[in-house]
Structure 1
Amino acid sequence: KTPSQHNINYWEFGDYIGIGAGAHGKITDIKGKKIFRTLKPKSPRDYLIKFQHTERESRVKIVDNIVFEFMLNSLRLKDGFNVELFETRTGQPFQVLSSKLDKAIDLDLIQIQKKWIKPTTKGFNFLNELQEIFL
């Protein structure tokens, strides 16, 4: 089975542009510590009306817990994620995870192999509990 690249981008905390009625988008400004989220009206009629008047809806979220948002998504990947991806997508040094990773390892919820972090089988079975550690 080949995983959906579309979903992998979400789970790796990547940015995306929403096009069309009901679409959402996410653009991250690591240096400014902001996430821009866009959303389009769900109704095709409302979307077309706004599109004709070039109105756009967006909101800016100040990133106060970017580490949790990253982990919330990336822990869903069976193969996990690498340290470099974490640092690139969050703008945070990997060391900010140290104490929380230690706790997850002690509970046999996560494993680290070289520079890859991934949930154990138990971690997948208790994914909510694993994600909560990083909250």
Structure 2
Amino acid sequence: MELRPRYNQPFTLSEAILLDISTISEEITRLQYSIKRLRETQETLQEVIDEAESPGAVDVEIVQAFKENQEVIGSQEERILILKLALADKGVSSGAHYDVDTSTQMTAKSPLHDFDFGEDHNGPGSIEEDDSGGLHL
């Protein structure tokens, strides 16, 4: 099973399936922590935006950071879904432990329902860890 993610991802579902269960689990946990921190930042940025006297009074960099964080959150949520699908392919039930916490989600629409199951478009590559401890091709 292949899918077309909405965002560019560092690995495909096929490549994620090749990873061992502990690596997948650790990456999901790392991504969940990252999303939690990004959402906390989003709350702070949203407060600054809301406190501005007018929409034009908000610092352009703050608005840009807010938009960029939304994209990163969406991409990381999507990556978690890919990893959960890889776990499922291995017969591992990921359960609620790996669910993305949406209680503080700042975006109006989750990117996860934008998935298109079909031919993989990320192409082949080798998987290695990046400096942040995440996976990178």
Q: Is the TM value for this pair above 0.5?
A: no
Relative to the length of structure 2, the TM-score reads 0.28
Relative to the length of structure 1, the TM-score reads 0.29
Higher relative contact order (CA 8 A, sep 6+): 2
Larger radius of gyration: 1
Q: Greater strand share, 1 or 2?
A: 1
